[in-house]
Amino acid sequence: MIFRLVFCSTLAVVALFLHSCKSKQKSPEPVVQKKTTHPQKKKPHQVSSKSSGSDLERVLGLSSKEIKKSELYSFIQDWYGVPYKYGGCKKSGVDCSCFTNILYEEVYHQKLLGNAADIYKSVEKISLQRAKEGDLVFFKINVSYVSHIGVLLKGGYFVHASTSKGVIVSSLDEAYYKKYFHSAGRVKTHD
C-alpha cells in the first residue's frame, strides 16, 4: 500500500514536471550556422516551420527589406524551423521558454528567467487588446497552469517553439490557440 502511494505520488510529480515548457539552460549558446530550408504546404493562418523570408513577407505583410532591418523579424527568420526539444536551448533544439528567453535577450536586451509559468508570474498582465508587438502571450494547454509561451507579432500572430513543429509563427485566431489562450503580458521594462 505504501509502495503504491509513493509510486503514484512520484508519477504525478514527474508528469507535472514534464508537462511544463521548461529550459534547463539559462545562458544559450548561439549557433552561427543558418539552416537551408524549403517552403512547405501551409495551413491557413500559419507560417510553415520550414519558412523562408517570402513566407514572413506574405503572412505578415512585410517586405524583405523590413525583415532585414528589423532585429525581431531577422531573429525570427534565422530561427525558423529549429526543432522543438524539451529543455533545449540551442539551434539543434529549443523549447518555448528558452526560445522566448533567447529572443528577448538578443532583440530587447533583457533577460527572462525560468519556464513559461515563471515568466508569467514576473510580467505585468495586460489584455490582448492592449498588447503590442513584442509582448508575451501565455497558454494553459490541457493543464491548470501556464504551460506555453510565445511572443506577439503584428496582425494577431505570434512566434513560439511548438512541440510538434518547432519554431513557427501561428495565429491567435486558430481554434487551437483560441481554446488554450490564457493571458497577454508585458515585461515591466519593455516599451
Kindly list the catalytic residues. Answer: 96, 148, 160
Q: Number of helices and strands (H, E) in the chain?
A: 7, 8
Q: Whole-angstrom Cα distance, residue 56 to residue 167?
A: 13
Q: Residue 51 carries which DSSP code?
A: -
Q: Residue 171 carries which DSSP code?
A: E
Q: At what angle do helices 53-60 and 71-79 cross, to 10 degrees?
A: 130
Task: Please name the residue that has the C-alpha cell 498582465.
Answer: 125
